[in-house]
Structure formats: C-alpha cells, structure tokens
Chains A and B, each alone.
Chain A
Amino acid sequence: MTSAQFEIQMIACLVAVACAIPGTFLVLRKMAMISDAISHSILPGLVVGFFITQDLNSPLLILFAALTGVLTVVLVEKIQQTKLVKEDTAIGLVFPVLFSIGVIMIAKYANDVHLDVDAVLLGELAFAPFDRIYYGTVDLGPKSLWVIGTILLVTLILLFAFFKELKMSTFDAGLATSLGFSPVIIHYGLMSVASITTVGAFDAVGAILVVAMMIAPAASAYLLTTNLKKMIGLACFFGVFSAISGYWLASSLDASIAGSIATMLGLVFLTIYLFAPDKGFIAVIYREKQQRREVMLITFLLHLKNHNEIEERHVNHLNEHINWQKVRSKTILNLALKNNMVRISDDVVTLTDKGDEFTSKAIDYILTNEHGLIEDMKKDFFLFRG
C-alpha cells in the first residue's frame, strides 16, 4: 500500500466517523432527508465564501457553507410552519433552489477556479492526497485529512459534552424544555455540526456520498441495537468498514471511490436488513410464521378444553370441526404432542395436565392482557414475546 492509498483510506474513515455521529441523531429525529438538503444547498455558500475570501482553503469558506446549511434548515422549518405543505415537500422546495443558484454562480463566475459541479456531486477522493499542507518545507499531509480531522475532533468533544442533552431532547423535547434545557439550542447545534461535517466531507467525497455516509450506517445500526451508545459505535464501525472495503472495491474495479463506498454502505444495510437477529426481514418472517402456528395451537387446545364429547375430540373429526386443512391440523397436533400438551388414546385427543394449565394461562393472558401471567411461558413461545 502506497502512502497515497493509505491517506485516501484515512480520509474516508475520518469522514465516515464524522458523518455517522450526527447521522445517528438525524435518523433518530426522523430528519434523514435534511442531510440531503444540507449537502446540496451548501453549494452557493461555498461559492459566495470563495468570492469573499478568494481562497479555496480558507476556514471562512467552510463557515460560510455551513451557514447556508443551517439557513436551509431554517427555511425548511419556516415553510413547514405555514402548514401549507409538509416537511418533505418543504425540503424538496428549498434545496434544489439553493443548489441551482450555486450551479449558476459556478458556471457564470467561477469557471476558472477549481470548483465544478462534477466534483461537488461526487467528490474527488482520489486527488485528495495531491492537495497538501506544508509548514515551511515540512509536509504535514493532505489538506482534507486536516479539515475532516479537526471537524471530527470538535464533533467528538461536543458529543461527549452534550450526550445527555442530545439524548433527552431527541427522545422527549417536552421534558427537555420543562427541565430548563433548550431543545432549540441543541437542535441548531446538531444542525450546525451536520452542516460543518457536510462541508468538510464534501470536498473529499461529494454531496451524494455525504448523505449515504450520514444515513446508511446509522440506519444499519438502528436495526441491530436498542442502546444509543452502541448505535453510535456500530454506525461508526459500519462507516469505517464501508470506507475501507469501498476503497479496495474501487481499486480492484478501477471505478469511482465515492461510488464504491456508497455501494458498500448500501450492501451493508441490505445484509443487516435481511439478517438482523431481531428486526431483520428473515427474523420477522420466521417469527410471524411461529406466531401463526402458536395461535393455531392455542385455538386447538382451547377447542379440546371446551369439548368433553368424544366425537369432538376424535382425530378424524378434528380438522373437520376446526375447519383446517389436513396438513395444517396434523402439524398442530404434532406440535401439541411434542410439547406433551395432549395425548392420544383410541384416536381420541385429550389435554394433559400441562396442556390444560397452559391453555388456562393463555386464555387468562389474552383476556386480561396481564404480562405477569406469561413471563415463564415466554421462553417456550414466540407468541408472547411481542
């Protein structure tokens, strides 16, 4: 691995972590699309910042662009507050306008500088190592690395300092207000961090990948954990994993690095969506299937409990009477037998003591909805886990 390769991966990883942190809170606040809006509408901010500073490397430029990001959020909220349109429509109204203003400004006034629409959309991670910072004659490394490193450091400090406030105001803004914390300050603080991160990452990875890096790792982590700290940690991990694997995918395919990283992010999410142990697609299908079977089992047991007549409990009559297909009643009968809930003598099905007790408890639970009754049944049965 050359040092340029190392530097590119390093930048991608720092971008991934810097994006995953605000991204987690955006996902939890159901504001994922705001990151899309910010990433596009910072463009006019960049151009105006460049006019004023005449220097593409000025920190002022980042500040200007970040301000446009916050302005986007404010505009979206103002339009939303009119109650004429919903939030998603407001987002769709604001950012294309700001972005297109930026596109026109670049075409008209900034043709001769290193700012073009392609770079804005897709970034130029591969070229990042060429734009370096020197102290005198000492090479301090790529500029992007310093920019995103600084942003990440600030983000981490803010996260550690205000974790409690962020958590509370994201979960329950009303409580935060009544306890004297200002959710508005937290909200705009988060939006500022998201904007600054977007600007910082944008230079390296472009507007589209920034969105992917903010949302996909957080969404993947959300499916795996019920702990906020773990969610942030997992989101960072998925971001870093996709950054590195995406880089090598790009290098083996000789394709765009940004595109490959975004592809990996998508694949990570897809894998987790399918295989997550609790909320994943397959787990849900499996659980639903189990639940259907157990509802049938209880229906079957209840039928036995309700009928003392021999003919109602005869094996051959059972599927007729409960009106199930033969295959299904056979599986249910086997399930009941396997769990020692029924016994069969002379082709007549009878509840065992265990089956009788189980049925009574299940009925009690269904009628009273009282959780205490079924705590010990949960181990055996999916039905009561929900």
Chain B
Amino acid sequence: MGRIAVKVDDLTVAYNYKPVIWDIDLQIPEGVLMAVVGPNGAGKSTLIKAILGILKPIAGSVTIFGKPYKSQRKHVAYVPQKGSVDWDFPTTAFDVVLMGTYGDLGWIKRPGLKEKKRALEALEKVGMLSFKDRQISQLSGGQQQRVFLARALVQNASIYFMDEPFQGVDATTEVTIINILKELRKAGKTVIVVHHDLQTVPEYFDWVTFLNVKKIATGPVKDIFNDDNLTKTYGINYKVSVQK
C-alpha cells in the first residue's frame, strides 16, 4: 500500500453540544476510490466538510499527505451537494467551472486564457461543452452535477471529495460520473464519495467507510462490505445481497 492520502485523528464535530461525528480516526490510502456510507444523519457530509475546514471541529486533527490541510489546499478538490448552492444565480456553466481555477490564482488575480482553456477541457470531459454558455438554472439536475464535477476536475487535485454526486441524476450522468471517477483512480488520484446507494458500492468502489456518528469500519470493499458491518451501521438485521 502506498502513502496515506488523508489521515483523520480523533475528529469530533458538534452542533450545539450534540456530536454529529464522534472521535473519528481514519486513514485513507492514496489511490483508492472510497465510498462513505451510513444512514441519514450519520454525519457523512459533516465528516467531509470538517476535513476540508468548512466546518470547525471541536476536537481532532486532519492531515493531507502528512501535512495540515491549510498548506495542502492545492491537492484537494471538493464537489459539494448540488442543493448547497442557488442555481438561479446569474452565471453560466462555463463560469462555474472557471471558479475551480480561482484557488491557483489566489486573491485579486483574474482568470486568463490558460484558465479558460482548462475550464473548456473539463467541460468537454464531462460531456457538457455544448452547454457552456447556458445559464445554470437551465440545466437538468444531472447536467448541474456534471458542471460541479468539471469544476473539481479543473482544480487538477490529487484528492477529490464528493458529496452525493449521484443524488437525483439521470442514468447518463451516473455513468459519466463513475467513468470519470474510475479514470481519476487510474491516474493515481484518491477519490472520496459520500454515497447512498448501497447496491452499487461493490461495483463502483474499491474502498469503503461505514459511518454512523462513530466510525464503524473502513477498508477494502471485498473484505468489509458485508451484512455484519451493514447491520452495525444501519441498525438491526440489515440484509443486502452483496455481489462479490
């Protein structure tokens, strides 16, 4: 096994004294395509947001390739939940993707030709080039998700965090997204996905983390994706037909 891409130690996040995730220890090896699964309210999104510094943990630490997140931002890209932004915002698909280049630019500097070219390439990769000038509210849910993915691709990161990229998308988008995720893994990137559909876990992912406020288990799908862990995570007698 290669390097550890993301290391989480004793991470606890609370809203108003109620822990949402509790004492999470997690090591994500470089180059895996990992699903984070757990019931509603298990703290899956919270975990990702805390790793990315969007939420402030009350305890614990996070390192990316052995260094604190702040110094490693450039290695990390984030695809938030689709519902987290206002899609009526007056902007185009191209413009949203271009925002992915802002991190490299830093304050004040404007995106130039190089950044615009990268944004167009990312749009092409997700099959959205012909929609580049479309206002974002005029896109379907799946197309919006692909725009978000393109925005993350533009960042050219080593680690990708995605919050439910498959939620409410059409079949074409689901296939496009999973193919891109697998390509990213092939290129040695680490991809961490909050995922809802347990049936597709063995097909899509090679690594999985079970989460329900506390960490239940983490490891290779073929070793730990079983009824025992599913039951521990989702409650009594959870049965899912696992195809191995």
Contact = CB atoms under 8 A, between A and B. Distances in A.
Contacts of A175: 78, 80, 99, 151
Interface in A325-378: 368-371
Contacts of B52: 177-178
Interface in A101-116: none
Contact of A179 (B86, B91, B102, B111): B102
Q: Secondary structure at chain A's binding surface: helix, strand, loop or mixed?
A: helix
Could you say which interface size class chain B belongs to?
35 or more
Given A168-B102, A226-B91, A371-B143, A174 B84 contact: yes
Interface residues of A, number: 31
B219 to A, nearest CB: 27
A179 B161 CA distance: 13
A171 B148 CA distance: 12
Interface in B64-86: 70, 73, 76, 78, 80, 84-86
Given A171-B89, A222-B90, A162 B108 contact: yes
A227 B108 CA distance: 20
Contacts of A174: 49, 54, 78, 80, 84
Contacts of B111: 164
B136 to A, nearest CB: 8
A225 B86 CA distance: 16
A373 to B, nearest CB: 11
Interface of A: 28, 30, 83, 161-165, 167-168, 170-172, 174-175, 177-181, 222, 225-228, 230-231, 368-371
Interface of B: 16, 49, 52-54, 70, 73, 76, 78, 80, 84-86, 89-92, 96, 99, 102-103, 105-108, 110-111, 135, 137, 140, 143, 151, 155, 170-172
12 contacts: A162-B107, A171-B89, A171-B96, A174-B84, A175-B78, A177-B52, A179-B103, A180-B70, A222-B90, A227-B92, A368-B170, A368-B171
Closest 3 CB pairs of A and B: A179-B103, A226-B135, A178-B78
